[in-house]
A and B are shown apart, each in its own frame.
Chain A
């Protein structure tokens, strides 16, 4: 299988201030310079701490995404009742026409 590089690598490299800024922009979170200065080193500590796991894992330990050795767990293609729309929209900050009302996202045209 010729796929793109391992997805795990991006997570284990230390996180830079620029990267935090870019992620904040993608997530539509406004961060001030002071907040960036404050958060970037903290996030870097978290990422580095998690990365410490790889130093423990030897070559003979395959990467794992699940705690249990289970696979092929399926459900049959059968419907179950959905929530009532009032229930669905109860957690929405705003709704209109029985839909979630969200701020428009610039640059996206789905």
Chain B
């Protein structure tokens, strides 16, 4: 059985009922690690943010980061979970070099939050996703496989490990099995992760950058012959690190597992790796023999028993829930479901809201962020948020358009100027000489010259063929090198010739 033999997606979902479980890891945006004071800066030089605690050196004593626990509780509350009255860390023992201690500090049967739910909007209807648990743990180190050509382990001669990431606080959010999505399963998975990202961003607990790994998704998927049949064997697909990949990975696993079941074979319970380039998964280690974590309570860390007063205080800090807020904002901005989906998918909602707050219309704010600026961010390999332009500046550019000082074409050059650090939009217009000429004297002279140079066109317009004005407007715009308000030029041409 090779991975290329797939069942067409429509056939697969016609014959089988998919059941999903999604595990999302969120890296918290604390300034220090979960159990030690090492910094958590992304992209620092290797092994410069490590100490005896996160390296697991003998005698080192971990102490829990209070803010990380608060963030975990707030996440739990935002997901309508119960907050445990008694919660402990556990050692998850395993032997891979990504943790120098030979175990990962995690939570096992006493997670900080459990039994919640969250409502996700998928194509205009609401799907309730049940949350099994949200627990605290620490991130692992980063391995670089060398000696091979692909950076992956196959073909590598050895691995190089950087422990800067080891010990950064994570919250793992685990859903209960999501049933009944049918053919819509990939869209539900995508919408759930997008919804979580928005919710977590609203809580300001993480920078939720899927491209930098601060939000990561594992997809568990199984198929069964009908919704009444017992659950099938699941695969767990890791490395699914964009919204689009979440959708594609679910789709791919449905087609792959359907092919196995059609052929009378069994699905192996295993970890699979998602490959963005091919859109396929490949087998990782088989869980059937490898997994034996021998969890036990972490003796070096004290239990957490959140007092109810503390939980209530944290509850009071929750922002308006994401779904409620999103519905309200969509109405306020007047976006269609499809527009809203694009906005959320691009992570542009807060930027667009801020741009509108700075005076732009919702439609123009959406246009700038999702077209011109999205393209520039993409070219630069950045997120919209990281572009060196503020919502107020975008609103400023639109204000120049609305006032007739620049047209759309010039506005794009103004954006480029702002992005290049040339200052505020007005300054860019002045420095680059981009303003459209609305000075009637100058325009009027240019129109006169165009009429003189094109007597036959002028004659047609005098004879009532207003449509011929285009040729004269074109000539004026050309002379003005595009820096004229075409509407005003038309008015002048018609005034002079009729």
Q: Measuring CB to CB, which residues of chain A are less than 8 angstroms from any residue of chain B?
A: 1, 3-4, 6-8, 10-11, 22-23, 26-28, 65-66, 70-83, 85, 88-89, 91, 96-110
Contacts and interface: CB of A to CB of B under 8 A. Distances in A.
18 contacts: A1-B114, A3-B108, A7-B295, A10-B294, A22-B289, A71-B303, A79-B38, A88-B50, A91-B57, A96-B160, A99-B144, A99-B160, A101-B159, A101-B161, A102-B161, A104-B145, A104-B156, A109-B273
B454 interface: no
Interface stretch (B59-67, B186-194, B250-258, B474-482): B59-67
Contacts of A98: 45-47, 162
A74 B284 CA distance: 38
A34 B307 CA distance: 54
Contact of A65 (B68, B88, B98): B88
Contacts of B303: 65-66, 71-72
Nearest to B303: A71
Q: Which of A22, A74, A77 has the most CB of B within 10 A?
A: A77
A80 B292 contact: no
Interface string B35-53: 0111100000111111110
Contact of B96 (A7, A72, A83, A105): A105
Contacts of B426: none
Closest 7 CB pairs of A and B: A80-B37, A3-B109, A65-B297, A74-B66, A77-B67, A99-B160, A7-B295
Nearest to B169: A77
Given A78-B32, A88-B55, 18 more contacts: A1-B110, A7-B108, A7-B297, A26-B290, A75-B64, A76-B67, A79-B31, A82-B48, A85-B46, A88-B47, A99-B46, A99-B47, A100-B160, A100-B161, A100-B163, A101-B159, A108-B153, A109-B154
B299 interface: yes
Given A7-B295, A99-B160, A85 B48 contact: yes
Contacts of B108: 3-4, 7
A110 to B, nearest CB: 5
B460 to A, nearest CB: 72
B496 interface: no
Contacts of B115: 1
Contacts of B220: none
Contacts of A4: 108-109
Given A98-B47, A99-B160, A107-B285, A8 B296 contact: yes
Interface string B157-169: 1111111000000
Nearest to A75: B63
Nearest to B44: A82
B8 interface: no
Contacts of A70: 302
B122 to A, nearest CB: 27
Given A72-B302, A102-B158, A109-B152, A80 B144 contact: no
Interface in B296-315: 296-299, 302-307
Nearest to A1: B114
Number of contact residues on B: which range applies?
35 or more
Contacts of B404: none
A77 B66 contact: yes
B95 A28 contact: yes
Contacts of B284: 107-109
Given A76-B66, A83-B52, A109 B153 contact: yes
Contact of B109 (A6, A27, A100, A108): A6
Contacts of A100: 47, 97, 100, 160-163
B90 interface: yes
Contacts of B31: 77-79
Contact of A101 (B63, B94, B111, B158): B158
Contact of B65 (A23, A77, A85, A99): A77
B143 interface: yes
B430 to A, nearest CB: 44
Nearest to A100: B161
A66 B36 CA distance: 20
Nearest to A10: B294
Nearest to B282: A109
A23 B292 contact: yes
Given A10-B294, A72-B304, A83 B273 contact: no
B109 A7 contact: yes
Contacts of B225: none
B140 interface: yes
A85 B44 CA distance: 12
Nearest to B305: A71
Contacts of A108: 96, 153, 284-285
Nearest to A83: B51
Contact of B304 (A71, A76, A77, A107): A71
